[in-house]
Amino acid sequence: MSRAYREAPPSPISRAPMPAATNPPKNEDLHGNAPDSAPVALVLVDMINDLEFEGGAELEEAAIAAAERIAALKRKAKALRIPVIYANDNFGRWRSDFREVVEHVLGDGVRGRRLAELLRPERDDYFVLKPKHSAFYATTLDTLLDYLGPRRLIVTGITGDVCVLFTASDAHMRDFHLHVPADCVASIAPEHTRDALEYMERVLRVDTTPSTELDLARLVDDSRAEGEG
């Protein structure tokens, strides 16, 4: 006798709920490459510079004066464990690294040698090589600052009306509190520096208090308080 069979509907398969996808925890020190953490950072724009360009001779005296002030400011910053970042042009030498840039300025008989003597980078300083005017454009500066954690930047360097101005503008758009000490920047013509500083004060809300009057310890304390608020 034939018997008709009807397949029973498959029993439902119980599945454990999938855990929500989570990102791995953020590495706190960029895998050892950014071990410092500070509410303030000091940025030196193009101060390791051969000055071998049109206008370099006119810039030299003012750049050296700015370098002397920056060197003193850097010493105070390091005493307070404020990280120092060199944001430097690589002079179009895309196969060079920052060490080669420093060696070039110190050893090739260029006009800007005194700048490198005054501001020779130390082992615990940071650096980024930049292809354009701003220290932020197409560089790793954003990533570095994200790990270092500052909300306040002190921007120094040359020239005040170009690379310093462009860097300050990009920092302003990233909501950093900004200081550009008036005695720590230089341009080919003094009026260019003056106009740039006035523009930064008016539009970017930059504090241009000279380095000799800048209370770094208070900036650190104020920045920490802002971060906790």
Beta-carbon contacts of residue 216 (< 8 Å; ≥ 6 apart): 40, 73, 76, 77, 80, 82
Considering the entire predicted model, what is its pTM?
0.84
- What pLDDT sits at residue 7? 45
Contact 44, 98 (CB under 8 A): no
pLDDT in tens, 8-35: 455 554 555 555 555 555 556 555 555 5
Nearest to 44, CA basis, from 195, 211, 175:
211
Walk me through the domains of the chain, giving residue ranges and CATH numbers: 40-228 (3.40.50.850)
- Give the separation between CA 97 and CA 106, rounded to whole angstroms: 15
- Give the separation between CA 29 and CA 43, rounded to whole angstroms: 19
pLDDT in tens, 164-220: 999 999 999 999 999 999 999 999 999 999 999 999 999 999 999 999 999 999 999
Residue 165 CA: distances (Å) to CA of 38, 65, 120, 123, 156: 24, 19, 23, 28, 10
Contact 55, 189 (CB under 8 A): no
- Give the separation between CA 143 and CA 130, rounded to whole angstroms: 14
- Give the separation between CA 51 and CA 213, rounded to whole angstroms: 29
- Give the separation between CA 186 and CA 163, rounded to whole angstroms: 11
Q: For residue 147, how many C-alpha atoms fall within 13 Å in the half-sphere facing its CB?
A: 16
pLDDT in tens, 80-136: 999 999 999 877 666 668 888 999 999 999 999 999 999 999 999 999 999 999 999
Beta-carbon contacts of residue 205 (< 8 Å; ≥ 6 apart): 172, 178
